[in-house]
């Protein structure tokens, strides 16, 4: 029997499309075409029904699709739409701030990212916000807590960042639902790698790899492999580790295209290549990552990529010192523009060390001392220890 084309039929189909989209998101990821078709159809049905409350989680799913695919302009438009709905709906406001926070993080607008993500924590109400978890594939509070460590660390608050990271995993594990733990584990493992806490990164990555293998989720399994391969390489198995990282990144690209956080993933891979002696490949990877930065507008790791290139040109192509210096100066400038204090500290440390070899001791000290003096916490982190040691050498 054919169901008449009427609101009752639309409502039934909307429910089914929501179930389908949620299942695809949890098992494969929102980036695949099947998820896109389900979310697009659900959105069209919501608009036909004039149902704003049902539209909110659908826009959350669409946002997840765009962000997994690295389509930041489309993601920004979705976030703006959800925030407009949030004027009258607190559930939408929570989701919209979460989306905008992630978008700002990706674009390297870290202060705005912090503001939006902290709004999520202020607005989150478990009884209402958790109702969207199945359809959009994440919990708003767990997600905001997962991205905040990146933001806080880059802004120059490493102790606060570590506290938020622990809180994120604790909150996500409390759900007892594996698909809601994927994103927090992915973000935590990446965060610990970029803060140079390799032991902590390894522990979380081992849990992440085991969970993704158990759940057979190709998106998160590929993400986990791309990072875990770097750990394997650093543990004395360079060829095996690099092969695993390349396999994971290739699989991610097949699923998402040039997805979000690609520059960071490439930066981590380049660091691994450099550490095991693959210098030319490391420089090529950084160059390709900088091309992606310009094409997509994802600038959260831009300063670090310029710093890496500058350091490695100096270390492995010593005759290119002027270009090395230009890269490091560019890294400092980008970091300052973004208020990225940790990236500024790293780049300034590298540039000051170069200037010291050139006999410019006063210039090196005057560059490094102000940014080091800005920090009020995190003095046991590798970055601040390294900067302090250089300042003592500079007198």
Q: Answer for the pair 123, 94: CB distance below 8 angstroms, yes or no.
A: yes
- pLDDT above 90 covers a percentage of the chain that reads 58
Residue 205 · residue 189 · CB < 8 Å = yes
Cα 49 from Cα 31, distance rounded (Å): 26
Confidence at residue 238, expressed as pLDDT on a 0 to 100 scale: 86
**What pLDDT sits at residue 130?**
53
pLDDT at 134: 47
The pLDDT of residue 194: 92
Measured between its terminal Cα atoms, the distance across the chain in Å is 86
Cα gap 101→95, rounded to integer Å:
10
User: Within the chain, which residue ranges are assigned CATH 1.25.40.10?
Assistant: 1-126
Give the pLDDT score at 136: 53
Per-block average pLDDT, block size 10, for the chain (395 residues)? 70 80 72 82 85 84 86 94 91 92 97 97 76 60 94 98 95 84 92 91 91 86 89 85 91 81 93 90 96 95 98 87 95 98 98 96 97 97 97 93
d(CA 101, CA 112): 7
pLDDT at 54: 81
What does the alpha-carbon distance between residue 348 and residue 327 come to, in Å, rounded to a whole number?
11
Q: List the structure tokens of 122.
A: 């202020």
- As a three-state string, the secondary structure of the chain is CCCCCCHHHHHHHHHHHHHHHHHHHHHCCCCCHHHHHHHHHHHHHHHHHCCHHHHHHHHHHHHHHHHHCCCHHHHHHHHHHHHHHCCCCHHHHHHHHHHHHHHHHHHCCHHHHHHHHHHHHHHCCHHHHHHHHHHHCCCHHHHHHHHHHHHHHHHCCHHHHHHHHHHHHHHHHCCCCHHHHHHHHHHHHHHHHHCCCHHHHHHHHHHHHHHHHHHCCHHHHHHHHHHHHHHHHHCCCHHHHHHHHHHHHHHHHHHHCCCCCHHHHHHHHHHHHHHCCCHHHHHHHHHHHHHHHHHHCCCCCHHHHHHHHHHHHHHHCHHHHHHHHHHHHHHHHHHHHCCCHHHHHHHHHHHHHHHHHCCCHHHHHHHHHHHHHHCCCCCCCHHHHHHHHHHHHHC
43-94 pLDDT, tens digit per residue, is 888 888 888 878 888 898 888 888 888 899 999 999 999 999 999 888 889 9
* Integer CA distances (angstroms), 135 to 15, 35, 91, in order: 10, 11, 14
Separation CA 172–CA 188 (nearest Å): 12
Give the pLDDT of residue 178. 82
Q: Which CATH superfamily is domain 1-126 in?
A: Tetratricopeptide repeat domain (1.25.40.10)
Q: Could you tell me the pTM of the whole model?
A: 0.91
């Amino acid at each position: 029997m054919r169901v008449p084309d009427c609101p009752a039929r639309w409502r039934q189909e909307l429910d089914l499309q929501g179930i389908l989209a949620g299942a695809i998101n949890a098992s494969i990821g929102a980036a695949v075409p099947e998820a896109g078709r389900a979310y697009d159809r659900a959105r069209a049905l919501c608009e036909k029904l004039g149902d704003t409350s049902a539209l909110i989680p659908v826009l959350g799913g669409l946002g997840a699709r765009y962000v997994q695919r690295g389509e930041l302009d489309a993601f920004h438009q979705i976030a703006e739409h959800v925030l407009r709905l949030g004027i009258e709906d607190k559930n939408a406001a929570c989701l919209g701030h979460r989306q905008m926070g992630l978008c700002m993080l990706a674009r390297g607008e870290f202060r705005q990212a912090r503001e939006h993500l902290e709004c999520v924590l202020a607005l989150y109400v478990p009884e209402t916000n958790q109702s969207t978890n199945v359809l959009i594939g994440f919990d708003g509070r767990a997600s905001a807590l997962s991205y905040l460590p990146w933001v806080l660390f880059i802004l120059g608050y490493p102790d606060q960042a570590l506290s938020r990271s622990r809180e994120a995993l604790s909150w996500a594990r409390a759900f007892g639902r594996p698909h809601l733990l994927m994103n927090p584990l992915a973000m935590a493992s990446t965060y610990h790698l970029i803060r140079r806490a390799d032991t902590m990164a390894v522990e979380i990555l081992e849990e992440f790899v085991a969970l993704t293998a158990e759940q057979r989720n190709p998106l998160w399994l590929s993400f986990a492999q791309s990072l875990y391969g770097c750990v394997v390489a650093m543990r004395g198995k360079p060829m095996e580790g690099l092969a695993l990282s390349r396999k994971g990144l290739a699989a991610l690209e097949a699923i998402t295209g040039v997805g979000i956080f690609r520059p960071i993933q490439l930066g981590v891979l380049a660091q691994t290549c450099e550490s095991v002696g693959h210098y030319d490949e490391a420089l090529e990877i950084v160059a390709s990552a900088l091309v992606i930065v310009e094409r997509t507008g994802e600038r959260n790791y831009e300063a670090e990529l310029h710093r890496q290139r500058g350091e490695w040109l100096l270390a492995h192509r010593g005759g290119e010192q002027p270009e090395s210096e230009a890269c490091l100066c560019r890294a400092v400038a980008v970091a300052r523009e973004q208020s990225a204090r940790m990236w500024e500290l790293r780049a300034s440390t590298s540039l000051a060390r170069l200037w010291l070899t050139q006999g410019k001791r006063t210039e090196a000290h005057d560059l490094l001392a102000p940014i080091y003096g800005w920090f009020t916490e995190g003095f046991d982190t590798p970055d601040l220890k390294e900067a302090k040691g250089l300042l003592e050498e500079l007198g």
